[in-house]
Structure 1
């Protein structure tokens, strides 16, 4: 099985703020056993900024982007040193991979990166993947590495994505772990009802990334670092297992979802969201707002009014045209735009997560 493990910064430190060498040793032992069983394992690991702050004695989380980039430059070397020291005790060789979002937008860079990671695994190394924070121009290019993990799973054709979380999994209103999720939308309803440090922030990001992974046909488990990865790889967990879509996206739509750069955002109402989830095209009547400048055939993100990302698609009309006809129906759209088309995004060019 090909597996992507995602570790956040909080996972690699103890409650006292020290590097959790015990957990990293447990991780290495289990990865060694998994490799011996024929599994291929990749890590998507945060922690460069955290490690840089520790090296330089900075106690507070940096808010300034330039400081964050500088700390990442210092900390990435330290982070890889930690992985090298711990993993070497178990005969494992970590290999550093730093990615930026353009890797998933340009075909040549995408396949060059994929081939390099494939070769690392062929040589027996464990790819340790992180966003290249030192040169990233946005603080949330991928969203705390949750989306980077999904992009990695897509690029490397992984079968299982394991997101390790301090929450230990999705929690219900009574703060108990939800063991199994078949309907991801019901999971979002739970998150909105949780008032905790991992509720509307970290867990929402994880569920948003999970929704995309499930549409790709990838199994997803969100669990804590105490869980056994040897059981997790058998889809048994003390965390939360998310069932992938029975009808995963076809290759063309996967490319739209994962590699096409959005040129703008279309916000839709809940009626339109229900319609597109049922396999229908997106009509101008369901559009409540348009952001950005784009032309016919460009790819845009699709969000609910609150800003939740729910899909992507190639538009039939430009941003100026959609502003003229949003909230309008059928013949009215055709008359205003002097066209025979009615769909803002045809279902064949539409991806709903």
Structure 2
């Protein structure tokens, strides 16, 4: 929004090139503000601009983590933002709440703090909720954002909190306008809303599959395959595939949905979309015969599957 204001734009641009120009203008203003704030404390800052495609590759994801770790070891505060000048809608993190959740899981942070224009997460009576033990308990009364200036809103913060808590990371949501909030939070005072991890955290790689990668297509599976995935944590075999939507390559992330369209899992496809279409409904021993190669008996291996239904 800094760039938008500097350029005299009253609302968020809809033209992609103008939006990117505003982002480029705002980056220098943002860094100048951070430098001015930290300089009296003798602390250096560094700009880190990320794009979604830079973290979809596992090696690049780990390189980003190493770079941020080095900055922290040097006592430098990384100012992390999405590189909006080159990002496009299909390859965006979504908003800064989602970016913050991704970065916190990337570096193994102790706590994710999300700032809002209200005192914390409010229930359906507009009363602040102090503690949330399971994110799914509060999703019913979270309203979508009304503003078209930003991309965030409480709905986005709750989704970011889900991502973080599934990684075993606690999340605090509180008022950006209160200078005392962070200090009070660190002292353990009852401020904002604290969301706790529920259950065992997802391993880093599986969290990356489910919440960093963006699905390139959908694989619709039958009821038997749904049960095998959810109850026995099985691999997805060709026999359970009903339909394939989208265009993806071997190794891409895919959304696995039931016949009603509800997502039950995400995973990494062993075969491309056209190959999976040819394999649908068949048996594993027919793979080489049908498509001329054999990369495994599974369409998606169990080690590459993460259940997502009901936040599993």
Superposition TM-score tier, normalisation by shorter sequence = 0.7 to 0.9
5+ residue gaps, structure 1, are 1-49, 327-332
Quick one: distance in 2 between partners of 1:80 and 1:306?
Answer: 47
Aligned to 1:248: 201
Matches within 5 A, 1:106-145: 106-138=57-89, 141-145=92-96
Normalising by structure 1, what TM-score? Answer: 0.68
Normalising by structure 2, what TM-score? Answer: 0.76
- The answer to whether the aligner puts 1:197 opposite 2:146 as a matched pair is yes
Aligned to 1:95: 46
Aligned to 1:73: 24
Quick one: distance in 2 between partners of 1:337 and 1:272?
Answer: 18
Deviation track 1:87-125 (CA, whole Å, cap 9, x = no partner) reads 223333222111111221234433433232222222222
- The answer to whether the aligner puts 1:170 opposite 2:121 as a matched pair is yes
Quick one: distance in 2 between partners of 1:80 and 1:260?
Answer: 28
Aligned to 1:239: 192
RMSD: 3.9
Matches within 5 A, 1:1-353: 50-138=1-89, 141-191=92-142, 194=143, 197=146, 202-225=153-176, 226=178, 228-233=181-186, 236-257=189-210, 260=213, 262-266=215-219, 280-281=233-234, 290-294=244-248, 298-302=252-256, 311-315=265-269, 319-320=273-274, 333-334=281-282, 338=286, 345=300, 347-353=302-308
Quick one: distance in 2 between partners of 1:161 and 1:76?
Answer: 23
Partners of 1:311 and 1:352 within 8 A in 2: yes
SS at match of 1:97: strand
Deviation track 1:173-231 (CA, whole Å, cap 9, x = no partner) reads 1122222222222222222xx47638x96222222222221121111122222262134
Partners of 1:281 and 1:343 within 8 A in 2: no
Between 146-155 and 64-73, report the one with greater CA deviation. 146-155
Partners of 2:134 and 2:197 within 8 A in 1: no
Question: How far did 1:282 drift?
Answer: 7.7
Question: How far did 1:79 drift?
Answer: 0.9
Specify whether residues 310 and 94 from structure 1 end up closer, same or farther in structure 2 by C-alpha distance, changes over 3 A only. farther
Question: How far did 1:322 drift?
Answer: 5.8
Partners of 1:297 and 1:316 within 8 A in 2: yes
Question: How far did 1:62 drift?
Answer: 1.3
Quick one: distance in 2 between partners of 1:167 and 1:252?
Answer: 34
Partners of 2:219 and 2:256 within 8 A in 1: yes
Partners of 1:223 and 1:237 within 8 A in 2: no
Partners of 1:293 and 1:319 within 8 A in 2: yes
Between 283-292 and 97-106, report the one with greater CA deviation. 283-292
Quick one: distance in 1 between partners of 2:256 and 2:99?
Answer: 19
Quick one: distance in 2 between partners of 1:277 and 1:183?
Answer: 20
Between 231-240 and 140-149, report the one with greater CA deviation. 231-240
Question: How far did 1:82 drift?
Answer: 1.2
Specify whether residues 216 and 269 from structure 1 end up closer, same or farther in structure 2 by C-alpha distance, changes over 3 A only. farther
Question: How far did 1:266 drift?
Answer: 4.1
Quick one: distance in 1 between partners of 2:262 and 2:100?
Answer: 19
Specify whether residues 142 and 309 from structure 1 end up closer, same or farther in structure 2 by C-alpha distance, changes over 3 A only. farther
Question: How far did 1:86 drift?
Answer: 2.2
Question: How far did 1:289 drift?
Answer: 6.4
SS at match of 2:168: coil
